[in-house]
Amino acid sequence: GISKERYFNAGKGILRLFWIRPDLAGTDDEADRVARLIGYPEAENPDIYYFLALYYTKRGDYERAYIEMGRALSRVDTYREADTIYLRGDLQRAYGTMAGICQKLGKKQEVVRYGVLSLRLNRYQEDILTEILSLLREEPGEGSTAEGTWRFLAGLYDLTESREILFCYKCAKATGFIALENKLLEALPEEDRDD
């Protein structure tokens, strides 16, 4: 017969396919049925939950996507088996997707938390930084001073470096965060200001 490992990997492959082409699943029951066949919801392998989370995100079921992504991320560090974990190589997308899910669900603090985790893996994600800045701008006093936001940015970016300042400026401008735009322009070296 087919080995347990091959059976498991086949199931995982089907879930991944459902994420890429949700129409192939037909119904959500089908995705859940495949997941259950390979050990959901007891299985420790984070990929099962990750592929389900991506599938449900594409389907627009953010409540369910949030639950499954939480399960995936909580398992990724503790999973000790030798098999290759897709999620480990895809954390930037996972955190970015979770930030987007949280935004849809109105979980503002978690948007920032997961957005930062994603930015730590790739600082130059305009959509994510813009989303975070638009939330920080709403914090008391930030709209006029941008003090806390500046400190936040300094933890992620080198604000003595023109390229990094300009990237942050572009995102601040996209959210209409004028106090922050001004601070960033002041930080720019003279020779780069005219650009």
Q: How many residues does the chain have?
A: 195
CB 131, CB 99: distance < 8 Å: yes
Distance (Å, rounded) from C-alpha 42 to C-alpha 28? 19
CA quadruple 108, 111, 117, 119: dihedral, nearest 10: -120
Work out the mean pLDDT of the chain and round it to a whole number: 96
DSSP-derived letter for residue 13 is H
Please check whether residue 27 is in contact with residue 18, taking contact to mean a CB–CB distance below 8 angstroms: no
The DSSP-derived string for 93-131 is HHHHHHHHHHHHTT-HHHHHHHHHHHHHH-S--HHHHHH
**In the prediction, which pLDDT does 27 show?**
87
Q: How many whole angstroms separate alpha carbon 179 and alpha carbon 73?
A: 35
Q: Evaluate the CA torsion angle 103, 106, 112, 118 in order and state its sign.
A: negative
At position 131, the amino acid (one-letter code) is E
Contact 53, 63 (CB under 8 A): no
Out of 2-6, 112-116, 129-133, 163-167, pick the least confident. 2-6
The amino acid that residue 163 corresponds to is: R
For the stretch 76-103, pLDDT in tens is 989 998 888 999 999 999 999 999 999 9
Expressed in angstroms, the distance from the first to the final Cα of the chain is: 67
Q: What is the pLDDT of residue 10?
A: 96
Query: Is the model's pLDDT at 25 over the cut of 90?
Result: yes
Percent of the chain with pLDDT over 90: 91
Note if the pTM is more than 0.85: yes
> Is residue 72 within 8 Å of 112, Cβ to Cβ?
no
- Identity of the amino acid at 135: L
Query: Residue 186 pLDDT more than 90?
Result: yes
The yes-or-no verdict on residue 136 having pLDDT over 90 is yes
